[in-house]
Structure 1
Amino acid sequence: MTWLDGLRFDPIAPLLSSGHPAVRSWAVRELASRPAGLPPARAQTPDEALWDLPIPRRIVRRQAANGSWTYPGRRPRASTDYDLLETYRQVGFLVDMFGFTHRNPALAAAAGYVLAHQSAQGDLRGIYGNQVSPNYTAALIGLLSKAGYGEDPRVERAFDWLEASRQHDGGWALPLRTRGRKLDALDEPQTIAGDPAQPFSHLITGIVLRAYAAHPGRRESTSAQKAAELLAARFFEPDAYPDKGRAADWTEFSFPFWMTDLVSALDAISIIRPGFRSDKTDTARDWLAAHQEPSGLFTGHLLRDRFHDLQLWFSLAVCRVFARMPS
């Protein structure tokens, strides 16, 4: 019995025949070319031919000399470093879709720009002004870990900061929210210290766990193992804080992963806790299986991306989860 036996339709065939070279490359290396029943892992050797596709070439052409990308929209909050936010978005495309690593000069320049935002404490500041942000710190170092920077001392310092910034229950939360503050507090110059006695946020914890999953050493830590179980217990529930206050937020999807949803959470959990199952993870798998189309692709509330091929990437992400967590 293999992970495909629990699905009504073959999801691999449409990925291989999609005509999208990057999706096809990942599917061949992670799904189609592996023995039946053997769960996939992120390919260790990137397909550097993907770096020369039109989309990543277009992204790299827009990179500034300092390694950043310029935010294209309005900048309503003076305290927010919008170029760092845009750099995070573009690095996500390059790493998660096209397999960029530290060997690519554009990615190396972006890493230098990102890590220049590290505070003396170890977190990355700017997107939330001078307020600490476990979610953006983790999101950025998670991408850098995938790109080969996991042993960089600056990345290790950021992980150490994440370890020290957990809530007492073992998850993570946005410090200003634990003090009952609204987002206008992002404009305050003084850093707001969080209350670690307050409950964890599954939005923040899910994003942090993606970083741990991307780092071979950190994913085995006791803190990551515990937080993965905490996150799974929150599936289909509203967050403890207002940023993801609807249960329906669990079924709004994007790729590269941005917020915390069922697929991004299962992806991290299945790497950190191989073989882990619970009633809620089974319910999540059943929900995804029920949203498979006769074409073999998966669907749901897909948040539009600029490349208009989100269903292919979403379906690839779902296949990775199913292969690691067979029924």
Structure 2
Amino acid sequence: MKDWLEIFKYDPIPPLIGSKNEAISYFTHRDLLNEKVEPIETLWQLSAAQKILRKQRADGSWKYPGKGKSQETNYDVFHTIKTLRLLVGLYQFNKMHPAIRKAVDSILSFQTAEGDIRGIYGIQYSPNYSSVAIENIIKAGFEEDPRVVKFLDWILSVRQDDGGWAIPLRTARISYKEAITKSKPIQPVKSRPSSHWVTDLVLRALTAHPNYLKSKEAREAGTLLLSRFFKPDKYSDRRDAEYWTKFSYPFFWGDLLSSLNSLSLIGFSKDEPQIKRGLDWFIDRQESNGLWHEKMLMFGNNEIAYLWLSLAVCRVFKRFYTTR
């Protein structure tokens, strides 16, 4: 078998390891080159990480920096979920840090008796963004927390019949404007097709948890994702096929790399035709400097964003080509 780096036309290691971003260089040494590094806590002291921590409020949340347009939307919990994702995804903060414990308690204070996290869509279910929250809460070391298990039990209970997930109000063909006026959450119409981008987000939460990673439900959701590669979504949110190749890192919305990352963790083979197609897309798109310069959402289109994207690409390729 070829070394995973030999798959690429250009060597991505030099620009990653030579990056002035200490976190990217750290993870390149540790994750790609299997070298011994300093304890992860050294990254927590970086100025960029400390800048994020300084904005945390006493209740563990982060204030939404913009102006909210909907009274029904809790923009602060949404922003807190996004901020936790940055701390966990870029610096691998975990529950040993008090700021993370406070953030997790803040987010999970919005957990309902059913198990979902409520407030982003008013009283309506949000399987997508709730899953982003739980994914990062698990990664921070809370996999055995009963609140996490409660959410995972709930998310499995609202699966569509085809093995994936969708936003329930979309499956019921009810507009968001109408849905947020309802007094009760709209139940999913499970006979309708799944949304692949919502499924991608839920699958990330499942694959983050050691007890759900190899589950039947995770594999079925992965199979559904594979059948949708490069196709339009079934619903109006992020419908265009072009969203497959618009990326965010740390992962947020669903995209090709996020999906491949989950599929590699579950144990799908690189020889699966659709996976090969996805991997080939990245091989073909590599720049001569060894990096990937693709459309980035949320992080901006700049060299640091491209470095993080390239690190994530390399992690996926290494996993597919060294563990199969």
* Interval containing the TM-score (normalised by the shorter chain): over 0.9
* Partner SS for 2:228: coil
TM-score (norm 2): 0.95
Contact persistence 1:274–1:324 (CA under 8 A) = no
Q: Which amino acid aligns with 2:297?
A: L
Q: Deviations over 1:60-90 (max 9, x none)?
A: 0000000000001011011001000110111
Match of 1:97 among 90, 103, 108: 90
Question: Which blocks of at least 5 consecutive residues in structure 2 are unaligned?
Answer: none
Residue 43 (structure 2) pairs with residue 50 (structure 1): yes
- Alpha-carbon distance in structure 1 between the residues aligned to 2:206 and 2:232: 23
- Alpha-carbon distance in structure 1 between the residues aligned to 2:205 and 2:198: 11
Q: Which residue in 2 is equivalent to 1:38?
A: none
Provide closer, same or farther for how the CA distance between residues 46 and 176 of structure 1 changes in structure 2, counting only shifts above 3 A: farther
Residue 9 (structure 2) pairs with residue 5 (structure 1): no
Q: Which amino acid aligns with 1:27?
A: T
What pairs with 1:66-81 in structure 2 (closer than 5 Å)? 66-81=59-74
The percent identity for this pair of structures is 40
What pairs with 1:1-327 in structure 2 (closer than 5 Å)? 1-33=2-34, 47-188=40-181, 189-275=183-269, 277-305=271-299, 308=302, 309-326=304-321
Offset of residue 187 of structure 1: 2.0
Q: Which amino acid aligns with 1:281?
A: I
Offset of residue 304 of structure 1: 4.8
- Alpha-carbon distance in structure 2 between the residues aligned to 1:46 and 1:291: 34
Q: Which amino acid aligns with 1:245?
A: R
Q: Which amino acid aligns with 2:207?
A: A
- Alpha-carbon distance in structure 1 between the residues aligned to 2:225 and 2:44: 34
Offset of residue 49 of structure 1: 0.5
Offset of residue 307 of structure 1: 9.8
Contact persistence 2:179–2:186 (CA under 8 A) = no
Q: Which amino acid aligns with 2:208?
A: A
Q: Which amino acid aligns with 1:84?
A: V
Q: Which amino acid aligns with 1:5?
A: E
Contact persistence 1:15–1:24 (CA under 8 A) = yes
- Alpha-carbon distance in structure 2 between the residues aligned to 1:217 and 1:103: 22
- Alpha-carbon distance in structure 1 between the residues aligned to 2:286 and 2:29: 20
- Alpha-carbon distance in structure 2 between the residues aligned to 1:25 and 1:59: 19
Contact persistence 1:167–1:199 (CA under 8 A) = yes
Q: Which amino acid aligns with 2:185?
A: T
- Alpha-carbon distance in structure 2 between the residues aligned to 1:243 and 1:46: 41
Contact persistence 1:142–1:214 (CA under 8 A) = yes
* Partner SS for 1:220: coil
Q: Deviations over 1:255-297 (max 9, x none)?
A: 1111111001101111012435422211111111111111111
Structural RMSD (CA): 1.8
| More displaced 10-residue stretch of structure 1: 272-281 or 136-145 | 272-281
| More displaced 10-residue stretch of structure 1: 12-21 or 61-70 | 12-21
Contact persistence 1:304–1:310 (CA under 8 A) = no
Contact persistence 2:115–2:150 (CA under 8 A) = yes
Q: Deviations over 1:77-119 (max 9, x none)?
A: 1100100011011111100000100000111100110111110
Contact persistence 1:81–1:127 (CA under 8 A) = yes
- Alpha-carbon distance in structure 1 between the residues aligned to 2:229 and 2:54: 40
Offset of residue 190 of structure 1: 2.3
Q: Which amino acid aligns with 1:321?
A: V
Q: Which amino acid aligns with 1:173?
A: A
Provide closer, same or farther for how the CA distance between residues 46 and 258 of structure 1 changes in structure 2, counting only shifts above 3 A: farther
Question: Which blocks of at least 5 consecutive residues in structure 1 are unaligned?
Answer: 35-42
Q: Which amino acid aligns with 1:320?
A: R
Q: Deviations over 1:29-78 (max 9, x none)?
A: 111126xxxxxxxx9x9611000101110100000000000001011011
